[in-house]
Amino acid sequence: MKESFLLIVAIAGLLLTLSQSLLAQERYVVGKLFHTEVGGPGVIMSANFDARFNSKERLGLGYRLGAGFGIKRTGGYYSLDSDDTFVRRTYYSFPVGLNYVLGKPNKASAFEVGAVVSFLTRKVSLYTFDEYKEGNVIGSVTFMYRIMPVDGGFSFRVGFTPIIGTAGDLYPMVAVGFGYAF
C-alpha cells in the first residue's frame, strides 16, 4: 500500500512538472508583415513593414513604416494642337502610421483600421494642377481586409484608403498589397 501511494505521488509530481514546462514554453506568434502595396498612402507603390506593439499578439494596436513613390506632372496642359508638354518628376513618400487589427486570434482573416501620415520629398498637389495646393505631407485613413496566416507565409491586403490632400481635399483611393507574414 505504501509503495502504491509513493508511485501515485511520483507520477503526479512528474505530470505536474511536465505540465508546468509545457505551459512555460511560449507559442511563436506571427504578428509581423512585410508587404508591397499598390495605391494607398505610398501614392503609387510602396514597400511596408507592419507589426503589433505587443509582439506576443497578432491582433490589436500596431504600427506601419514604409517607403514609396509617386509622379508629379508639371508644365502645360495637354491638348492636341499645343506644343506644351508635361514634365514628369518622381518623388518619394515615407508613410508612417498607426493601425488596429480586429479579428479572431486563430483565424487568418482580419480587418484593419488605421491612420497614416506620408512625408513627401517634393511639394506636390494630388490629382490637380493647382500650384497653391502643393505640400510635403499628406494623410490617409485605411480600411483594409487582410489575410495573414496564423502560422506565417503569403499574405494579402485590399481596401479603401482615402487620402487627405495637401489642401485638405479628400481623394478616394484603393490599395492592394501582397506580402509575407512572419
- Which CATH number goes with the domain that contains 39? 2.40.160.20
Residue 122's pLDDT is: 84
Please say if the pLDDT value at position 21 is more than 60: no
84: in domain: yes
Residue 113's pLDDT is: 98
Average pLDDT, the chain: 82
Contact predicate 180/155, CB 8 Å: yes
pLDDT band for 118, please (50, 70, 90 cuts).
very high
DSSP H helical segments within the chain, as ranges? 2-24
Residue 75's pLDDT is: 61
Residue 55's pLDDT is: 85
Residue 24's pLDDT is: 45
168: in domain: yes
All 3 cell numbers of residue 85? Answer: 508638354
Using CB atoms within 10 Å of the CB of residue 123, give its burial: 0 to 12 exposed, 13 to 18 middle, 19+ buried: middle
What is the span of the domain harbouring residue 61?
30-181
44: in domain: yes
The residue among 156 and 87 whose pLDDT is bigger is: 156
Residue 6's pLDDT is: 58
When divided into structural domains, the chain yields a total of 1
> What is the radius of gyration, based on Cα positions, of the chain?
25
